[in-house]
Amino acid sequence: MTVENGTFRADWRLRCIFGVIGLLNFAAALDATSLSVAIPTIADDLGGTSIEAFWSGTSFLVASTVFQPVFTMCSEIFGSTRMLFTAVVAFTVGAILAAVAQDFTLLLVGRCIQGTGGGGIIALTEVLIADLIPLHERGKWMSVRSLTWSFGTVIGPVIGGSLTEHAWRWIFWINLPFCGLGLVLIPAFMRLHRDRSALWERLSSVDYLGCVLFVGSLSSFLVPLSWGGLMYPWDSWHTLVPLILGAVGLAAFVIYEACVPSRPLIPPLIFRNSTTTIGYLGCFLHGVILWCILYYCPLYYEASLGYSAVIAGAALLPFTLTVAPLSAAVGIAIGKLGRYRWALWLGWTLATLGMGLLYLLDTDTAVAEWIFLTLVSGIGLGVLFSSMMLAVQASADIKFLSITASMAAFFRTLGQTVGVAIGGVIFQNRFRVEVSGGESALSSTAVELADNAASLVWYIRGLSKGEERDILADAYASALGVVWLVMCGLAGVGLVSCLFVKKYPMVQAFKPRQGVQRDEPQMA
């Protein structure tokens, strides 16, 4: 890449780097979303409980979330190329372990390792974009990442549904060609400048205690948040003790980061800018809403409308096909216009309206109706995908650009992890009310039936057509309707908060920390 007379020019090597980034983001998104429709089948095939099957998806999200800041910090010490290569290796090893697993123990180990690698890919993508591309050009190049990630999200449920009908293990095997290409292309093209100081000097500046506090405390917080109401009741000590310990540990981490390390894992200074903080809130809410739709909509199609796993995955296309192109188009438009607030206002308005419309979904919803009802939220969330990232980066202190950019991805992933848990709690409570309020024989088993939204799908589909099946399908749709209303409220919070986002120029001093090495001299 060169910068001549204020004009940014991308060379062939930079284009290859972004090709690699797009490929890896596609693989990570494909894996994260393809499993949702296969969870009931995996539980049946491995002879596990619905809780263990649920964890096959959740463990990926938890591991992906907690290690993202660590990968960002390590990229500054060892270089982004080495850390991205490490992340792809972890993703590959995890996929292989999950594919060959004959029980849930090995499957969950593989998913945790794979999630760690996936988190590294997500975090380092943001670091590389911020470090290689000037802000005024970043929207166009971010669209490459957005498009490939969104496209993976689009076809993930469809591929997952198709493979579930035949061999669910191919959901993991299908990742290997992309990982193999990544492992070949990363060392071939990603030749970046890196810190040449003595290794011991770099290692001595690492915030070791901060890493331990952050990873341990966040894991302790997210794990019981994921199993609360499923493996153990919310008022059980199994849930409350680690949840409280995690919250206390995170509070201690915040105090420690503000007072002790000279080079903190997450510098508190990045939160002093109100626009950056509002952007992080928006990324978190975006993750919560997006993942609730991706996780619970296929279950609605299967349980309430009686669709197969393949059709349920395909039914997400009106939603996901709007997210993909809009996330790319908005990034390009923001780069051209030099303004981002219009996209935030438009995106949150449509997202709020769209989530409210989802409340209308029921067992009698026709195909044309649910296509329209899911389309609006897809447009809104697609508009927000790139615009929030650019708003955060425009407001960032140039000294903390890498960690500021990667934390936006972290908060979105955190929202995805929390979103599934929030949706599960709301669904359980509302489903119990819906079933126990009737006069059928099902009212006495409402508590057991409401334990897990995914396992309930198979129970409903296994019933013959009749009153019992109709009651459960109606209760399922009604319970999810409350989930959509809560998501509508959260989108409203995003809409109100974005009104306080300040305008920053889309021009920023460009001082790449790990620019592309060139084979020939360049003029700057």
pLDDT tens sequence for the chain (524 residues): 545 445 667 777 788 888 888 888 888 888 777 776 677 677 778 876 666 666 777 788 889 899 999 999 888 888 888 899 999 999 999 999 999 988 888 988 999 999 999 999 989 988 888 888 888 788 778 777 777 877 777 677 677 777 766 678 888 898 899 999 999 988 888 877 666 666 777 777 788 999 999 999 999 998 888 777 667 777 888 889 999 999 999 999 999 999 888 889 999 999 999 999 999 999 999 999 988 888 888 889 988 898 887 788 778 888 877 877 888 889 889 888 889 999 999 999 999 999 999 999 999 999 999 999 899 999 999 899 889 989 999 998 888 888 898 999 899 989 988 888 888 888 888 888 887 765 556 666 656 666 666 667 777 877 778 777 888 888 889 999 999 999 999 999 999 999 999 999 887 666 656 555 555 433 33
Same domain membership, residue 162 and residue 224: no
Same domain membership, residue 405 and residue 272: yes
Query: Within a domain: residue 523?
Result: no
Same domain membership, residue 457 and residue 323: yes
Same domain membership, residue 294 and residue 253: no
Same domain membership, residue 279 and residue 234: no
d(CA 70, CA 62): 14
Query: Within a domain: residue 524?
Result: no
Same domain membership, residue 166 and residue 38: yes
Query: Within a domain: residue 45?
Result: yes
- Residue 102 CA: distances (Å) to CA of 43, 106, 268, 413: 11, 7, 45, 29
Same domain membership, residue 272 and residue 257: no
Pick the closest to residue 106 from 87, 93, 119, 116 (CA basis): 93
Contact (Cβ atoms closer than 8 angstroms) between residue 286 and residue 384: yes
Same domain membership, residue 278 and residue 353: yes
Same domain membership, residue 387 and residue 270: yes
- Among 224, 244, 262, the domain-final residue is 262
Query: Within a domain: residue 509?
Result: no
Six-digit token string for 19: 């090709």
- Domain holding 229, by residue range, is 207-262
Residue-level pLDDT at 512: 58
Same domain membership, residue 333 and residue 228: no
Decide the pairing of beta strands 7-9 and 2-4: antiparallel
Residue-level pLDDT at 191: 75
- How would you write 44-68 as a 3-class SS string? HHCCCCHHHHHHHHHHHHHHHHHCH
d(CA 319, CA 298): 12
Same domain membership, residue 487 and residue 434: yes
Residue-level pLDDT at 215: 93
**CATH number for the domain harbouring residue 484:** 1.20.1250.20
Query: Within a domain: residue 507?
Result: no
Query: Within a domain: residue 479?
Result: yes
Q: What is the largest CA-CA distance in the chain?
A: 81
Residue-level pLDDT at 524: 32
Query: Within a domain: residue 181?
Result: yes
Query: Within a domain: residue 522?
Result: no
Domain count for the chain: 2
Same domain membership, residue 390 and residue 314: yes
Pick the closest to residue 417 from 53, 64, 98 (CA basis): 64
Q: What is the DSSP letter of 510?
A: -
